[in-house]
Structure 1
Amino acid sequence: MATPSESDRDAATIVDELDQPILLFDGVCNLCNGFVRFVVQFDAAGEFLFAPLQSDVGQELSRRHNLKTEDFDSVVLVEDGEVYTKSTAVLRVCRRLDGPWPLLTPLSAVPTGISDSVYDLVAENRYRVFGKKDACPVPEPELRERFANRTFD
């Protein structure tokens, strides 16, 4: 029996098989796409996978974790079955990166109400300041293997 190709796999199957942290992000947001490139740069071990919130995988994970499936206002980290959003997601990612970024971990002690308020301020203005794409861009070939849904045709 032939093994299904990557393009034949549905989002539910891909999500069921995830075995590493996945970062969901607003795929049309230039700031969010920049954050993904930043994480890839400082994640030499390749611990994180990525999926735009607008993708089938992003939508499937959002539904499973009772998150919004439109009007995205946060990056989402799904790690060991737990969901982290906003500043908590960003700081949890930073603690696992190479370089100086784990030094930001003590910021987790800042009350979430304060750190999320700062996050929300940036999120509310991200399109105006950083711009946005009309559609989720296809990642560069060297990044494609880091995306949970690797079909980009």
Structure 2
Amino acid sequence: MSDRDPLAPDGLMLFDGVCHLCYGTVRTVMGWDRDGAIRFTPIQSPYGRRLALAHGLNPDAPTSFLFFDQGRPRAKAAGFAALLRRLPRPWRWLSLIDRAPRRLSDAVYDAIASRRYRLFGRHDQCMVPTPAQRTRFVLD
């Protein structure tokens, strides 16, 4: 049986909108994905909270981001690899991280995620997309 949810979004990154590392990742992906294939929603938005809760993430203390790949929610290293596969060349090759043993890649992901505020900082409130970025964000 497939874990694909036909009602789930596709090409959507659910991220921690107060995390500097997460927002930096969003800005980087937006710069690399000039065609706009990947969209974003902060976990602090109404839509982001609903998605997080529906997929077992605590929106008040997220431990991972999610990337929806063909309706399948992918977390941690698998989510990052799925997101990278959607990027245009020459960035797609970075998805090779998916070939590392999952236990190892998720352990590295967890180590960074658990220290992300201490290492990279955080905003007091959720980031607000610029007018040019708004078309790439799903907030409600």
State if a TM-score over 0.5 links the two structures. yes
What letter matches 1:142 in structure 2? Answer: A
CA RMSD of aligned residues (A): 1.9
Distance 1:146 1:135 in 2: 20
In structure 1, the residue matched to 2:22 is 32
Match of 1:83, SS? strand
In structure 1, the residue matched to 2:63 is 73
| Per-residue deviation, residues 31-83 of structure 1 (Å, max 9, x unmatched) | 00000001111112211110111110111112222332321121111222211
Distance 2:33 2:41 in 1: 16
Match of 1:59, SS? helix
In structure 1, the residue matched to 2:72 is 82
In structure 2, the residue matched to 1:45 is 35
Specify every segment of 5 or more residues in structure 2 that has no aligned partner in the other structure, as ranges: 1-5
Point out 4+ residue stretches in structure 1 off by more than 3 angstroms.
Answer: 16-20
What letter matches 1:140 in structure 2? Answer: T
In structure 2, the residue matched to 1:113 is 103
Check the 8 A contact 1:20/1:47 in 2, yes or no.
no
Match of 2:132, SS? helix
In structure 2, the residue matched to 1:59 is 49
Distance 1:115 1:19 in 2: 25
The count of residues paired between Structure 1 and Structure 2 equals 135
What letter matches 2:73 in structure 1? Answer: V
What letter matches 1:134 in structure 2? Answer: D
Check the 8 A contact 2:9/2:68 in 1, yes or no.
no
In structure 1, the residue matched to 2:116 is 126
Cα distance, 1:18 vs. partner? 7.0
Structure showing greater radius of gyration is 1
Specify every segment of 5 or more residues in structure 1 that has no aligned partner in the other structure, as ranges: 1-15
In structure 2, the residue matched to 1:9 is none
Identity, in percent, stands at: 38
Check the 8 A contact 1:42/1:99 in 2, yes or no.
no
Distance 1:78 1:61 in 2: 10
